[in-house]
Amino acid sequence: MPVLDLNDQKAVERYNKFMRQSPYGHITQDLNWAKVKNNWEPLDVYLEDEHGEIKAAMSILLTDTKTGKKFAYASKGPVLDLNDLDTLDALVAEAVDALDGRAYVLRMDPEADYSDEFNEALQAHGYVTLNRNVADEGMHATIQPRLNMVLDLTQFPDAKESFDLYKSKKRNKFRRPFRDGVEVTSGNTKVELEKFYTTYKTMAHRHEITYRPFEYFERMQAAFDDDTMQIFVAEREGELLATGIALKYGKKVWYMYGGSMNGNTYFAPYALQLTMIQWTMDSGCELYDLGGIGEASTEDGLYHFKHEFVRTDPVEYIGEIDKVLDQSAYDELVSD
């Protein structure tokens, strides 16, 4: 069956193995992500090759909308080689059958590089794409940022320490928090989680932005083991300064959430990033993803900070790929 039976332990193990070993896998396509987003309904579909092995898969989460039709979202999915659009079409067809008219759209946003040719090919296959055509609406025009600052560690084959990645002037700058007494520890217990949430909530109040409840992060911690999730804590003389949550999956470590206290943090965020990069290197991963930016401009505060660590241009992803299933509902909720 192309729809995963979550009550079939062997089928779940096989699906998990594919997701975690695929070069196209992502943490938000893992089955455990549905435990974090527990107010969404999960649906997982896959295709098999001629030998009965899984060759493509997609974990979808569904939520209600005011139209009565559901929003179906495959965050950072699907998991397959997107150069093969025929396989994408076949997987989407399985998902559409499984959705059985309940959703107005199936939205996908894989970490696939943007190109005009790829964008046009997707449109030729009947998909609606949201990428450069919505860029004027800013960083939040799409659910996930399209521009990400990604450190490619394969470009530094001889590096053993995070400091090795940078020139001497930059290394001297990055050593400053450590010289000033900042210490970074990590773990995945309630102690680290509570410290993280203190900084996360403080920063949200400082910037007057919304933030997730503590229970959301408790579910994340319960869903992912210590090898996958680490909470990094920067302190100085016992004073909490800043924190960050990083998740490891496949060949990548993803910096997902962070926070900092008010006042002087002694450049603790720099120390955190270097320590998380070191974890990436020690884990044998190839990529460290610092997350999204609005634009590659020093006027963008996120870019200004993240460009300190990633000296290359941001990666531009293809953006959102929509399979429209109910045009009238789509027009009401999505169209210009």
CATH of the domain at 288: 3.40.630.30
| Closest among 287, 195, 204 to 245, alpha carbons compared | 195
Q: Do 156 and 295 fall into the same domain?
A: yes
198 in the same domain as 291: yes
Domain assignment present for 4:
no
Q: How confident is the model over 284-316, as pLDDT tens digits?
A: 999 999 999 999 998 899 999 999 999 999 999
Residue numbers of the domain that contains 280: 149-316
Question: What is the torsional sign of CA 255, 276, 150, 122?
Answer: negative
Buried/exposed 81-101: b ≥16 CB within 10 Å, e otherwise: ebeebebbebbbebbbebbee
139 pLDDT band (50/70/90 cuts)? confident
Residues 247 and 155 in one domain: yes
Alpha-carbon distance 265 to 207, whole Å? 16
pLDDT of residue 93: 98
The answer to whether residues 259 and 291 belong to one domain is yes
| C-alpha–C-alpha distance, residues 330 and 306, integer Å | 35
The residue among 330, 320, 326 whose CA lies nearest residue 75 is: 320
**Residue 336 reports pLDDT greater than 80:** no
Radius of gyration of the chain (CA): 21
pLDDT on residue 1: 59
14 assigned to some structural domain: yes
Residue 185 and residue 135 share a domain: no
pLDDT, one tens digit per residue, over 27-38 is: 999 999 999 999
| Sheet of 252-260, strands arranged across | 182-187, 229-236, 239-249, 252-260, 287-293, 147-152, 315-316
Residue 1 located in a structural domain: no
In the chain, the number of structural domains is 2
Q: Are residues 205 and 256 in the same domain?
A: yes
Using the predicted structure, report yes or no on whether residue 143 has a pLDDT greater than 80: yes
- Residue 314's nearest CA partner among 71, 132, 152 is 152
**Whether residue 50 sits in one domain with residue 186:** no
Determine, yes or no, domain membership for 178: yes
Average confidence (pLDDT) over 256-283: 97
Instruction: Retrieve residue 145's tokens.
Output: 């940022």
Note the pLDDT of residue 75: 98
139, 270: one domain: no
* % of the chain at pLDDT higher than 90: 96
Q: Are residues 137 and 30 in the same domain?
A: yes
Q: What is the mean pLDDT of the chain?
A: 96
Residue 40 lies in a domain: yes
Indicate if 84 and 186 belong to the same structural domain.
no
Question: Per the domain annotation, does 51 fall within a domain?
Answer: yes
List, by residue number, the catalytic residues: 37, 109, 212, 305-306, 320
Distance CA 66, CA 72 (A): 14
Predicted pLDDT at 214: 98
Q: Are 130 and 119 in contact (CB under 8 A)?
A: no
Of 12, 71, 85, residue with least CA distance to 41:
71
Q: Does residue 287 form part of some domain?
A: yes
Q: Helices marked H in 147-264 — which ranges?
A: 168-179, 190-207, 214-223
Residue 133 is predicted with a pLDDT of 94
Residue 3, in any domain of the structure: no
Among candidate residues 223, 267, 230, the one with its CA nearest the CA of residue 246 = 230
Distance (Å) of CA 315 to CA 173, 278, 289, 292:
25, 21, 10, 9
pLDDT digits (tens, 9 = 90+) for 175-228: 999 999 999 999 999 999 999 999 999 999 999 999 999 999 999 999 999 999
Output the pLDDT for position 136: 86
3-state secondary structure of 21: helix
Q: Which residues pair with 42 in a beta bridge?
A: 61
Q: Both 56 and 175 in a single domain?
A: no
Q: Residues 269, 325: one domain?
A: no
For the segment 62-118, what is each residue's pLDDT rounded down to a tens digit?
999 999 999 999 999 999 999 999 999 999 999 999 999 999 999 999 999 999 999
